[in-house]
Every structure is written in C-alpha cells, then in structure tokens.
A and B are shown apart, each in its own frame.
Chain A
Amino acid sequence: MKNVMGIIMSGGRNTKLKELSTIRSSPAVPVGGKYRAIDFVLSNMVNSGITNIGVITQYSFRSLMDHLGSGKEWDLDRKTDGLFLFPPFLSDEGTGWYRGTADAMYNNLTFLKRSNEEYVLIAQGNCIFTTTFDDMLRAHKEKEADITVAYREMNDIPMEELSNMGIMQLDSSSRVIDFQEKPMHPNTLNGSLGIYMIKRELLIALLEESVAHGYYDFVLDIIIKMLHKLKIYGYKYNGYWRSMSTVQMYYKCNMDLLDPAVNNELLGNLKIYTKVKDEAPAKYNEEAEVKNSIIADGCIIEGTVENSVLFRGVTVKRGAVVKDSIIMQGSIIEEDSALNYAILDKNVILSRNKCLKGEKSWPIIIGKNVIV
C-alpha cells in the first residue's frame, strides 16, 4: 500500500475513562500488559505497508508523544516519510485548539498537500483491533467510492455504547444511505469504526470547503452533509474490535485478551509494535500461584494472581491475592493484600494487609502514583 498515507486522530478528550484519561489521551491508555491503545492502529498501518503517517493530537498528549518518539519502534524513523506528530499550535488563522476533527486536519493541510500518496486512510487512535487495510482499499477501488467508511456489526457491544458511535444504514450495494452520529436510539447495529478511505485530493478539497464555511467536524459536517452528493460506501469489518471509550469497555477489552482466541487474533499473527522497555523476563517464586493471566516482562510474582493483566515491572508479594484486575507498570502489591475487580494505574503501591474491591460492572480505579 505505497499509495496510501495514514492519519490517526488521537485528540478527543474522554471523560468516560475517568482517572485513566486525566493524565493521558485515550489512545495512550495502557492495554494488554505492554501496549498503548494507539499501538494497534499504528501497527495495522505499518503492517499494511503505510509508511507516511500523521498523528493528530490535542488533549494531554505528553504521554503519547513520549510513547511515539521518533517512531523507531514502528520502523517509522525514515528519511522520506515516517511518523509525524501534530499537536495543536497557534497561527494567524488558528486559535491554538482544533475546533473539530475536520479543523484538526485542515490545520495540518500542509502535511496532506506535501504528501504524494493518492489515498488517505483516516483512523482513530483509541481502538483495539488487528488487521491490514489492503482489503478495504480494494473495496474502495472496486466501488469507485468517494469515501469508504469501515463499520462493524456491534452485536457484542452493549446497547448504551452504541449511542456513542456513528450508526449507519446501508443499501444492498453497501452504499451508506443514513448516518446518525451518536443517536439516542440506534436503528441498526452497524457502528462506524471511524476509519475512512478517501482520495487525498478530495479530502483536501472537502476540508477547505467545510472550514471556509465555519464547519469543523468531519462526521457531522462532511460525511453526513455529503451523504447524497458523494458516493459513500460502507466496508464491513468482521474481526474483534473495541474502542477504549469507557472504563467498562477498557476493562472488558483487557479481560478479553485472556481468551486465547481473542489474544491470538489480536497478537498472534500480525506483529503489534510498541515502545520497548528492556525489562528482564518475569520471575515466579516458589509461592506463585498464577492462573489465566497475562504477565509482562519485569514482573516478580510471589503471590496469587488470577484472571488478571499485569503490566511490566509489577511486583506481587507473598500472601497477596490479585483477582480480575488490571495492574499497570511498576505497581507493587505488598504482602497479604487483596485486589478484586480493580484497575491500578502506574506506580501504585497497595500496602500490606489492604484490600480493594470493585464490582465487575464498575471496577475501582486507583490513579497514578497513589499509595493505598
């Protein structure tokens, strides 16, 4: 796919991720023991052969910038093309904040204009899925579409989540005939993945026209307004897909990785790249009792761990019992403490004999660097 460039939208603020997103944007939330959400879409693009990728950021992008660096872990530190980061900036026209997704891309129009790929693939940075985009490009060309929108039948996602998505209706030829952004009452299960394939020249023209009229949102002001003027087609994606939209979805997605079938689909075939940390292999001591869990490098385990995801460098001491929990990098579970349905952010210390218990539907979250 040398003829496609990528744009990853990673700007949106997400208050539904609670404490997890106060210090980072949702694409930077840690997932699956060693990744951040954005690793998936970025690796998907790299695995598709896309080597010219812009990441548009807005809210709390420090951790995201730190994570992506020069892009060398994704093999994107290139002389030609590679990885480009676009935080908001002040300019003659710009206010310093992107006023919407279309405005964000419009502010970085130079990137689009200076590139020479025929197509642009726009995707969201906070979704967990593993695929390549070759098939979507093929479908886009076959239909001679102006815009192709990837969607998925969201039959495995709670109804209330659907109200956070774009819901599409398609005709028998897969042409999008109705598109509702975040509808109160979704009329189909076809949720948009926020992944769009479009010709670069067309995208530039649409952005210029829209922003000139004071419209700043790609979905509301371009897709929906142009639904009948442009040939907008749906492309059905059938694989596993989750958006890091709420705490519940975040929790569920991490737990889904404990299912070998899901784990294999997401991590078994295509390589997912991430920033490396040079930790030693995980160490299990005599008393370790680990069942159905994902354990990253650098962990030292002397206690019990069940149905949990442990990120790099977590220590679980003797007598501690961790169940149904997600523990991020560098946290320490001291002796004889217990953890149930909890999400611990980075570098949390759970002191001796302490017990934290959340509910499956409402896991308790402990913010970064907290000592309990």
Chain B
Amino acid sequence: MTQNAEHVLDHFELFRGPEYQQMLANKKKMFENPRDPAEVERIREWAKTPEYREKNFAREALTVNPAKACQPLGAVFAAVGFEGTIPFVHGSQGCVAYYRSHLSRHFKEPSSCVSSSMTEDAAVFGGLNNMIDGLANTHAMYKPKMIAVSTTCMAEVIGDDLNAFIKTAKEKGSVPEEYDVPFAHTPAFVGSHVTGYDNALKGILEHFWDGKAGTAPKLERQPSEKINFIGGFDGYTVGNTREIKRIFELMGIDYTILADNSDVFDTPTDGEFRMYDGGTTLEDAANAIHAKATISMQQYSTEKTLPFVANHGQEVVAFNHPVGVSATDDFIMALSRISGKEIPEALSVERGRLVDAMADSSAHIHGKKFAIYGDPDLCLGLAAFLLELGAEPTHVLATNGNKAWAEQVQAVFDSSPFGQNCHVYPGKDLWHMRSLLFTEPVDFLIGNTYGKYLERDTGTPLIRIGFPIFDRHHHHRYPVWGYQGGMNVLVRILDKIFDEIDRNTNVPAKTDFSFDIIR
C-alpha cells in the first residue's frame, strides 16, 4: 500500500505504485484484447509520415479535434456584455449546461444563462409554449433588465420563429410589452462561435436601433463624437477590454464598449454573488447609433454587425486581433484620426517600451518557426506579431477560417521576408495540425489548451494563447492588445523559449555547459 495519511498521494503519484502498475498490466493482458505492441508502434510511426499526412489531408467528411465551437456559445458570450442581461437559449437545455461549463472552465467565473428546455413534445409541436413560460419565469426569477434570446440547432431544424414567438409571449404577458427581448437565430450548423457572437450582437443593436421589433419607432441617428468599440469573441476580454478603456481614457476619447463583458467574467470574491456585473448600459446600446464610428477588434467576429452599423451611417473600422507594435500603431492612429485627438505622449512611451523589450529579446525568437491555430482574427494578429519579431509563422490554421481569411493571412506572409515559407490552412483541424507538426516540424506551437495533446504527441512546446485555456489559470486577466498587451504576449513566448532551453541543457556533466544564468 503506497497511500498514507501524512503525505496523501493523489492521482499524479498513486497509480505509479507497483501494485497499481501490476494490476493495470494484468487488466490489459487478460481482458482488454490489446493490439500487438509491435503493431501499435508501427501505426504510431506511420501516423508521423508524409504518406499519412496525405491521407489525412484527403479527408472530406470526418473532423477530428476541431478548433472551433458552435454559434450559440458566441451568442451567450456577447449577450452577457450588456447591463443586467441574461442570455436565454431557445432549444434543448443540455446545450446551455455546456456553454456555462465551457465559459466557467475558461474564466473560473460563474456563467449565467437559461434555456427554454425543449424536449420531444416541443420537437413535434414547436417550442412556443416553452418560450411563453420560459420568458415569464426568467423575468420573475432573475429580474434581468434584458433577456437576449438565441437558438440551438434543435430550434433551428424545426424552424421556430423567434420574432413571432417573442411577440406572442409578450401578448400572453410573459414580459411587459415594452420589455427588451432582442433575439438572433444562431444555428449550430452554420459558422462557429464567432458567427454566433456576430449574430447576437447585431440582433441586440438591431433591436435598439430599428424599432424594437416593431414596438417602437426606429431611432434617428444624430451624429455625435463618440466612438463605439467591439471586442469580438475574445478569451482575454477581462484584461483586453480594460486595457482598451485605459487607452481611450488616455486619449480623451468619449467611447462606448459594445458587449462589455469584462466585469461579469471578473467579479470579486467578497461574500456576494453578482449574477450581473458591469456591461454596456441599454441606454448606451441604443445611443451607440449616434456614434461617429465603430471599431471592431475582430473582423471575423463582426462580419454582419459591421455592415449593419455602416448602413446606419457610421464609419466602421475592422482590425484582426491586433498584437504587437505595428498593429497597435494602426489601431491608435485610427483612433486618433477618427476622434481628431492627439496621440498622447504616454502612449508613445509605452510604444517605445514595447520596442525596447522586443529589441532586448528578439534575438531569442528571430528565425524560430511557429505553428499557430485558433480563431481567424487571433491567428492573423499573432502571425503579424511573429513576423515583426523575425520569426516564421510556418503553419497558420483556423478550423473556422474561410478562403477570404486564407488570402488575408497570405497577404500577411507576403508582407515580410520571414513569411516566405509559411502556409495557411483554412477549415482544417488539429489532427491535420498533427501531421503538419510531424512532417514539417516547428520550434513552438501557439494555441489553446487542446494543443497539449499535440505537444505530447509531437514534442512541440505549446505556448497557450487563445480560447479556451482550461489548464492554466488567470491568463484572461492580462491583455494581449495594445502595447502592454504585446508585452504580455512577448513575455509568454519568451518564458516558454527559456524554459525549453533550460530543459534541454540541464543534465549535469553532459549538457549543462549551456545552462546559463544570464540570458
């Protein structure tokens, strides 16, 4: 018996004990009908080959380890960015359990969302009654200022009409006639979570700007000096949104953050549970129509929202998850141009500090090869930053990236001599990435938590940037946007590089001549 009360062994150590090892070996040999170890080894080696890669890339129907989630998750993420708002997902309830778990696992925060709990009878007769009862219950129980409705694949397949359902629910008294119930159809079989973010945000703006689903007059735009800012589906929303607010304030710009979910995913532990915290006020959401311009930090998270906003007479500016010096320069200059405000010295100093840091450290990154995967905008932002550091973003992959995205990434490659041998992979998954890492190895991999399997299989060290990050804590509190955000990304990359150097040089009397104390 290895377990003891004084030093309790948990799963990390317990099962390495001889009695467990013996037990597991017996189980395998006698009862699992295991494959011949030689055959396992042969297939394992084969799965690393160019031949396997070719078969793997010839796949047409199967998806393995995709780097994307479904629309409704994005809708929930956007909806909680409004003051006192609860997302209401019309469809099967299990989906909502999943969205809440997924967000809680990433942010280590509560995630509030309700479902209309449709079951077989709703599949046959439609979910109208679920909507009528559901809205009434949510309104009574959680006293939200707004209920933002989206759908699951189930409600979409049976064709439930949200506009009509919400109208009927209001007629039946579920919520008051004038109560705000914006909605968006977000089928899970179209696009990904970034599409859902886009649809939900557009739905909310449309609600306030275009006459609240026929219950109020459309708003007349009266141009103001304000600037709207949309972060997009962003796992760093807590740190990023706050950093962006700081920049706006430094510049003296009057702004509205649309879908500001930075506080609801970062509530304090002080004896009180806040279901709602922070968020864009409903008044600001309505008044956002008057703004001078709307800036999206992620073009692919706002593909429908931006044209909608532009159609209401505003300038729109889209970025692709800007990381690093030039990308932040472009963002700051756009802010300055649109607002007519000077770029303050403080930001110039911050910029200089990021350049300073890159100059101090880029020798360690220069020429290194990276593989990146994640959401389309994130991939663009990180690829551009790596090129800026003299690194090669060799494989750039987005399961939810399309042809237009691939062309955009190619243009980033083409803008730098370091991009010459880099390739972009739209619509591919992490099993494709595995083949890429075996057949065209790189020095480092950048991606979310799921990349740890790639790290284990291929030996490529993983730098965790993206969504979701389940197995490391608190990354979301640190920005990746702005000059300070660039600094954080730089440090995260460097830490991994130095850890790897140390790991590779730490054998006494063998490799430790390079185990340097100064770098």
Do A and B actually bind?
A: no
A residues contacting B by CB (< 8 A) are: none
B residues contacting A by CB (< 8 A) are: none
